[in-house]
Amino acid sequence: MRYLHTMVRVRDVDESLDFYCNKLGLKETRRVDNEAGRYTLIFLAAPGDLGNAEQNAAPLVELTYNWDPEEYEGGRNFGHLAYEVDDIYATCQHLSDNGVIINRPPRDGRMAFVRSPDGISIELLQKGEAKPKAEPWASMENTGTW
């Protein structure tokens, strides 16, 4: 397992980049605009992690800007922790066998979400390419929120 990023939702990209980059000193490593999903993802690394960030080997802060205005209450601006795993199905099975609810099953062979006992969302991402779709995961519904 490898720690990937922490996601934080932001209301104003310019104001947020001013804080995280100009004031805190983080550096933008990549940006993704998704018109279909109506959001922008901006990944930031600490200066000492820049070389590793270019090789996808550094922990990052992911700023998520949703194009449609939304007020974030109750901590919704904090998104999730993300970990890369060697086998998404084996990881989810292990968690499930140990009483962890799989809130968003890995139907796509790539991504799943669980929650900590304190309600923190944790994203699990398959290392490398997505695994082929497999049961019981492919037809499993979401449970609760993630």
Per-residue pLDDT reduced to its tens digit, 108-123:
999 999 988 767 788 9
**Residue range 25-35: mean pLDDT, rounded:** 92
Q: Domains in the chain, please, with CATH?
A: 2-66 (3.10.180.10), 86-139 (no CATH)
How are strands ordered across the β-sheet holding 102-104?
27-34, 39-45, 60-66, 2-10, 78-85, 121-126, 111-115, 102-104
Catalytic residues: 123
The reported pTM is: 0.69
**Placement of tokens 């099975």 in the chain:** 93
Q: Which two three-digit tokens encode residue 28?
A: 């933008």
- CA-nearest of 25, 37, 109 to 66 is 37
